[in-house]
Amino acid sequence: MREKLKHAIPILIVLQIFNLFQINSLKRELEMLNTNQGHSTEFIRSEMNNIYNNIDNIIRQDLSLIQDAEVELGDLDGDNLQVELKYSLTPKEVRDNTKLFLQFEGESIEMDRVGNSFSKNLKQDIFSEYNYPEIIIKEKDLLKTTEDSRIVISDLKEKIFLLLI
Q: Where are the domains of the chain?
A: 1-63, 66-164
Residue 57 has a pLDDT of 84
| Closest-CA residue to 120 (of 155, 89, 78, 83) | 89
In order along its 165 residues, the chain shows pLDDT tens digits of 677 778 888 888 999 999 999 999 999 999 999 999 999 999 999 999 999 999 998 888 888 899 999 999 888 888 888 889 999 999 999 999 999 999 988 899 999 999 999 999 999 888 877 678 999 999 988 999 999 988 988 777 777 777 666
pLDDT at 132: 83
What's the CATH architecture for 66-164? Sandwich (2.60)
Give the C-alpha separation, 111 to 136, whole Å: 10
The CA-based dihedral angle spanning residues 75, 77, 78, 79, taken in that order and rounded to the nearest 10 degrees:
160
Question: H or E segment at 12?
Answer: helix 2-63
Give the per-residue pLDDT at 165: 67
Report the pLDDT value the prediction gives residue 106, as an integer from 0 to 100.
Answer: 84
Residue 130 pLDDT? 66
The whole-number pLDDT of residue 8 equals 85
